[in-house]
Amino acid sequence: MIIRLDKLGVVIAAIVAYAALAAPFATFRANRIVPGQARSIIEALPPILGTLLLAIVIAGAVIALLRTTLILRLAASIIVLVALAILIGVAGGFLTPAGNTFARVSPASGFWLLIFAFTLLLADMLTRLNLSPWARVGVLVLAALAIAALLVSGSWDSLSILKEYASRADSFWAEASKHFSLALGSLAGAVIVGMPLGILCHRVDKLRAGVLNVLNIIQTIPSIALFGLLIAPLGWVALHVPGAAAIGIRGIGTAPAFVALFLYSLLPVVANTVVGLAGVPRAANDAARGMGMTDRQRLFDVEFPLAFPVILTGIRIVLVQNIGLATIAALIGGGGFGVFVFQGVGQTAMDLVLLGALPTVALAFAAAIILDAVIEMTASKRRVVETA
Amino acid sequence: MKAWLPALLRLAVLALLVIFVTSPGWFEPLLKPLTENGAPAIYNQGSLLALTLQHLRTVLVATVAATIVAVALAILVTRPAGAEFLPLSRSLVNIGQTFPPVAVLALAVPAVGFGEKPTLIALFLYGLLPIFENALTALTTLPGNVMEAASGAGMTGWQRLMKVELPLSAPVILGGIRLSVVISLATATIGSTVAAKTLGEVIIAGLISNNLAFVLQGGLIVAALAVLIYDGLSAIERYAARRMGQGAE
């Protein structure tokens, strides 16, 4: 009998073999900034649990390696991921000496590689399942609930990243809300200004090339440079325009970060509005005119609904991009999760970096999945309208 | 007269940029009003020219590496032998692009330490995505009749790849490289927060010492570089598209 191997499984099994047997599972440090000591799976967990985790991981790798059924692979990837998530917390408690509040235990490269390998398997299965938009959002909600449950239950409390969180819980949520308002506020501003501008560019040919070129150039300017370039003009406005300083406009801080994010957001919104409107079928416009619709009615009742999925795609690009870029606002005192990232880099405290980076990545990822699902739903609705 | 105006403008920006980084002292009177308490108006902790060249070198090394790996991977997953990886690689690229460059940069530090290395890694990893995505799009949407003609002419798989598929995909792949370079230029600037020698150093020094002149000159050099390089690459892309008979613009 010839055993047929799955090609992706070979890659996954190779990563798992290295991660489980050669790479460290957790790192133990006497305090938060000294270099750590590596601990393997067997060393990091009580003997029974260590052996159990190794067995689960190896079984998962074998299932990935052989050509097994979709359901089995899906189940295997989920079981391994859940086991890893629970047991890394156990490792934290096991490795920390009782009563020692300085010691830090953090997940090490082996843990992250195992997570990566089995997420790869899970992603492959989910891609093959070809889930509907609602189902994808459902999976996202389930994953978020599972992580929230682990966080609330306190099973990760012995890990270094949550110890960093515990000592700055208040500022974490303050920065989180700043991050949100920066990313969402600049998006809202860009939509309010960008959509009318896009409509104008669609109607007035002469304007289109000029506006899009200028926005393109702005998009090219690296974020930190743009933040810096805005400090001088905004500082001038704060000094010379009465009332500007009172509403919070200053050279450094949130104002330049907000303006920069707003400027970056304009191009995708304007460009996609133009493309969306240009893609409206001529027949639809002619029919609307024939029915005696005014320009205004035509815009709101015909053109806009038809162009909506394309405009939404622009909004998705902007939101994901802004959530990432808002981290850089911390460099000019704008706040956001970037505060922890750059503090952590400055103190060589990597757990602090993770405290800023992980929520950012999770937010961007969730935003992408949700908006992709919404785009797919509006686009399929549009197709139904067209064929009807 | 309208046709040569943009070209002239670009040339002027380029000339100004070169003059500024080679002899920044000439511009001191212009920047002096932005400083306070007699602080220096021109970056004095290293040569602007050296930093600019270092910045460009970092971006170049990362982009070349990312291009080779991304195009090779895209070729691999579009061959029959690698077809199993195609759907997964698509979703991986989608997921990967939601990672903010700063996060990639900061997360590379624990793995390799401070300095040039984490910046190169972040630039490389993040640069892969747009190039891979574009190469994938190009290689999977080649006109069917051309491919049939190539097979009909008795070309082997390798000949078809080198003489038909890659040349036809070149303009779209170049578009991916352009996006990747623009992102890399920006990420390299942030690289100076992890002690890489790039132009970000000038901006950060200005932010820390509250010296607007530093912030402005660093920001202007990076911005001018990015806009010029973006323009240059767009021109190459248009040239490639014209040669392939696709650029009807």
pLDDT in tens, A96-109: 887 777 888 888 88
Residue A291 pLDDT more than 70? yes
Q: Is A363 on the interface with B (CB under 8 A)?
A: no
Of the candidates B232, B198, B53, B94, the one whose C-alpha atom is nearest the C-alpha of residue A220 is: B232
How close does chain B come to A165, measured CA to CA in Å?
A: 17
**Residue in B closest to A341 by C-alpha:** B106
Burial (0-12, 13-18, 19+ Cβ within 10 Å), B27: middle
Of the candidates A240, A267, A387, the one whose C-alpha atom is nearest the C-alpha of residue A322 is: A267
Cross-chain CB nearest to B226 (options A6, A220, A348): A220
Chain-chain contact of A357 with B190 (C-beta, under 8 angstroms): no
Let me know: does B160 contact B148? Beta carbons within 8 Å.
no
Q: Which helix (H) or strand (E) holds B65?
A: helix B48-78
**Residue in A closest to B81 by C-alpha:** A7
C-alpha A106/C-alpha A161 separation (Å) is 7
The reply to whether B70 falls in a domain is: yes
The reply to whether B82 falls in a domain is: yes
On whether the pTM is more than 0.80, the answer is: yes
Residue B236's CATH number: 1.10.3720.10
Please give the CATH superfamily to which domain A169-387 belongs: MetI-like (1.10.3720.10)
Q: Is A265 on the interface with B (CB under 8 A)?
A: no
* Tokens (6 digits) for B4: 């040569």
C-alpha A53/C-alpha A79 separation (Å) is 11
Could you tell me the maximum CA-CA distance found in chain A, to the nearest angstrom? 84
The interface predicted TM-score of the complex, written ipTM, equals: 0.79
Residue A172 pLDDT more than 90? yes
| pLDDT of chain B, 249 residues: tens digit per residue | 566 777 888 888 888 888 888 878 787 777 777 777 777 777 877 888 899 999 999 999 999 999 999 999 999 988 888 888 888 887 888 778 778 888 888 878 777 778 888 899 888 988 888 899 899 889 888 888 888 888 888 888 888 888 888 888 888 999 999 989 988 888 888 888 888 888 888 888 888 887 888 888 888 888 889 889 988 898 888 888 888 765 443
* Tokens (6 digits) for A236: 């001038």
What domain count does chain B have?
1
Q: Is B101 on the interface with A (CB under 8 A)?
A: yes
Let me know: does A179 contact A326? Beta carbons within 8 Å.
yes
Cross-chain CB nearest to B203 (options A7, A228, A367): A228
- Residue B174, number of CB atoms within 10 A of its CB: 22
3-state secondary structure of A37: strand
The reply to whether B151 falls in a domain is: yes
Residue A142 pLDDT more than 60? yes
Pick among A224, A321, A345 to test the B interface (most B CBs inside 10 A): A224
pLDDT at A222: 82
Report the side by side order of strands in the sheet with A26-29: A37-39, A26-29, A104-107
β-pairing, A26-29 vs A37-39, is antiparallel
Q: Phi first, then psi: give them for residue B99, nearest 5 degrees.
A: -70, 125
C-alpha A341/C-alpha A354 separation (Å) is 7
Handedness of CA B173, B178, B181, B183 (dihedral sign): negative
Mean per-residue pLDDT, A23-39? 83
Range of B179's domain?
53-243
Handedness of CA B96, B97, B102, B103 (dihedral sign): negative
Chain-chain contact of A327 with B206 (C-beta, under 8 angstroms): no
The reply to whether B21 falls in a domain is: no
The reply to whether B20 falls in a domain is: no
The reply to whether B37 falls in a domain is: no
How close does chain B come to A388, measured CA to CA in Å?
A: 29
In sequence order, what are the residues at sequence separation of 6 or more whose Cβ sits closer than 8 angstroms to the Cβ of residue B116? B58, B196, B197
